[in-house]
Structure 1
């Protein structure tokens, strides 16, 4: 489900592309031009929680160190798209980090560097997921928002997605029709930015989806509307959900206090 806020009708990937089996992308433009050159993108979401056995409270004086690491990572080709307050929505989560880059080992290294800072160093990992996007597999409008230069929105929900065992064996025409119906169902939610990346062999999932919106209610409404489609019969797994609000680094101190 990748979309842009100003797009028109959904465009389905071609049948010979791995994108043909991805969750549909409501709101994508009806006509688009394939990317001229292949560009790989790797992205990582990391959910962290406080350690009840080792309580600690970072201070505002610790924030410049974290900011300096974020700036240094940008120089290495890794972008921190945001830090998110995911506290209270789940009992096992306080802060979520979203970062991306073109080299997977550099993204891994960036994650470790962030966890070495005084602000984040006392937290425990709850859930991590890495995904990959290859530009040449999609039209440009099917690219994740983070790879199209879209500014991050205020609210984010991230979740994994696994198709049913039968899905990949269904006739192509049947799958296409279900994907088209699924895309139409979500096409009215144009304010939602969508980021769909493949996660085959990178973890326990097939796809990772990250939806961004100005308001939390927009994410709730989109996810609810997408339940009313035939493609829902071919979902094997789509949990856990981690949802939160994008915050400046200074606000991390209050979340962890």
Structure 2
């Protein structure tokens, strides 16, 4: 019998601080308390490499009400000190194109990678009109190209889904210890057939773990 995968709800967000590092310090100092109070599975905080944001956050929970509790607490923390710039909701499920993908909870909890790259993504309507076997063939090439690239030595990937709950269809999240390696793998993936159906993958949030 196929194992039933429970949902894991995700939120990727970025913040702009109006007072230097006050929000960052508050999130750092109260991280464990915030996780406990909101019922989160995890909370990772990053310094943003974008000019329009100072902080990137990544949280997960078993229920969307926990994400809402976190957002309420976050808004209290940032009140008068900054603003939310980006906010992307999604739900994790195992990829239909991978047979033995690792449980995301284990991967997140064990990871200590330095960088995060996250962005919303959508595909054209024509993609979903292709037969499943054709889509699988195309995605197999994409996955094989990424997995066999010599620069892909440490990159962890998480494809999460936003159909009907956000302005995008997916939120794609990566962790790595080398932005150069990530850039080279991404460059190689521009050559695969699956690129023809991608219509959105911005804004890209890149940050350094605190």
Corresponding position: 1:42 with 2:2 = no
Q: Which residue of 2 aligns with 1:126?
A: 85
Matched, 1:218 2:181: yes
C-alpha spacing 1:160/1:111, structure 2 compared with 1 (3 Å): same
Q: 1:74 aligns with which of 35, 41, 64?
A: 35
C-alpha deviations, 1:162-182, integer Å up to 9, x for none? Answer: 111100111233212111111
Q: TM-score, normalised by structure 1?
A: 0.70
Question: Residue 161 of structure 1 contacts residue 238 of structure 1 at CA under 8 Å; is this kept in 2?
Answer: yes
Q: Indicate the structure with greater helix content.
A: 2
Within 1, Cα distance between the matches of 2:105 and 2:208?
A: 17
**Residue pairs, 1:6-25, within 5 angstroms:** none
Instruction: Say what the alpha-carbon RMSD is for the aligned residues.
Output: 2.7
Among 110, 117, 127, the alignment partner of 1:157 is 117
Pairs within 5 Å for 1:91-170:
91-117=51-77, 122-134=81-93, 139=99, 141=101, 143-144=103-104, 149-170=109-130
Secondary structure at the aligned position of 2:77 is classed as coil
* Paired position in structure 1 for 2:196: 233
Deviation at 1:145, TM superposition (A): 6.3
The residue number in structure 2 matching 1:84 is 46
Alpha carbons of 1:213 and 1:82: their partners in 2 closer, same or farther (altered >3 Å)? same
Q: Which runs of 5+ in 2 are unaligned?
A: none
Q: Distance in 2 between matches of 1:213 and 1:59?
A: 27
Deviations 1:167-207 (A, max 9, x none): 01112332121111111110131410011110112211111
CA contact (8 A) 1:146 1:195 kept: no
| Structure 1 gap segments, 5+ residues each | 1-32, 248-257
TM-score by structure 2 length? 0.84
SS of residue in 2 equivalent to 1:232: helix
Identify the structure with the greater strand proportion: 2
Q: Tell me the distance in 1 between the aligned counterparts of 2:13 and 2:51.
A: 16
Match of 1:21 in 2: none
Distance 1:66 1:148 in 2: 19
